[in-house]
């Protein structure tokens, strides 16, 4: 049994929308959320942006919650929820990857993303930068009593 190094803290919906807008997520593109929590990013990606979305989550209770909500909203044909460790799952088909982890976890993910993602894929990270990558954009958005940072990267 493995436990996440990062606790479940959901991204406010206004911040999720801004992340997906900044990534210019388009209908038919594929989005991966690494550590998808309650599934709010994959659900918005599919519902509002017309993407196919994949969420990977270590916690079984959250995976079950995601699947229940995906079914309730009739989005099963657009969303896949994987119960597993994102370090073990290839993300190479993603056009957009979303992260709300920690700088230290992003640091460990960096070589995997560099190896697997195709050139032109976008990575959007809430609050925690990917040290060593030069962001295309850094935006701040105020919600739930604090300012949230969004970092947008494009794989060279």
Ligand X SMILES: C[S@@+](CC[C@H](N)C(=O)[O-])C[C@H]1O[C@@H](n2cnc3c(N)ncnc32)[C@H](O)[C@@H]1O
Residues that bind ligand X (CB under 6 A): 4-6, 8-11, 33, 35-37, 40-41, 56-59, 62, 85-87, 100, 126
Q: How far is the CB of 139 from ligand X (least distance, A)?
A: 16
Rank residues 119 and 128 by Cβ distance to ligand X and give the closer one: 128
Distance CA 117, CA 105 (A): 17
Q: How far is the CB of 9 from ligand X (least distance, A)?
A: 4
Distance CA 101, CA 109 (A): 10
Rank residues 29 and 57 by Cβ distance to ligand X and give the closer one: 57
Rank residues 87 and 142 by Cβ distance to ligand X and give the closer one: 87
124, 18 contact by CB (below 8 A): no
The CA angle 113-78-139, to the nearest 5 degrees, is 50
Q: How far is the CB of 89 from ligand X (least distance, A)?
A: 8
Residue whose pair of structure tokens reads 């494009």 in the numeric block? 154
Q: How far is the CB of 2 from ligand X (least distance, A)?
A: 7
Closest CA to 116 of 93, 92, 96, 97: 92
Residue whose CB is nearest to ligand X in the complex, by number: 35
Bridge partners of 49, per DSSP, are: none
Rank residues 111 and 119 by Cβ distance to ligand X and give the closer one: 111
Residue whose pair of structure tokens reads 């909203």 in the numeric block? 73
């Amino acid at each position: 049994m493995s436990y996440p190094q990062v606790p479940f803290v959901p991204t406010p919906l206004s911040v999720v929308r801004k992340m997906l807008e900044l990534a210019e997520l388009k209908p038919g593109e594929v989005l991966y959320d690494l550590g998808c929590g309650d599934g709010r990013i994959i659900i918005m990606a599919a519902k509002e942006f017309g993407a196919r979305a994949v969420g990977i989550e270590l916690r079984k209770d959250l995976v079950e919650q995601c699947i229940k909500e995906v079914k309730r909203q009739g989005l099963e044909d657009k969303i896949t929820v994987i119960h597993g460790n994102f370090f073990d799952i290839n993300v190479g088909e993603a056009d957009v990857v979303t992260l709300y982890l920690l700088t230290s976890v992003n640091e460990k993910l960096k070589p995997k993303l560099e190896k697997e993602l195709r050139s032109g894929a976008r990575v959007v990270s809430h609050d925690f930068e990917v040290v060593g990558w030069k962001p295309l954009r850094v935006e701040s958005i105020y919600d739930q009593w604090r300012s949230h940072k969004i970092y947008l990267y494009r794989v060279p």
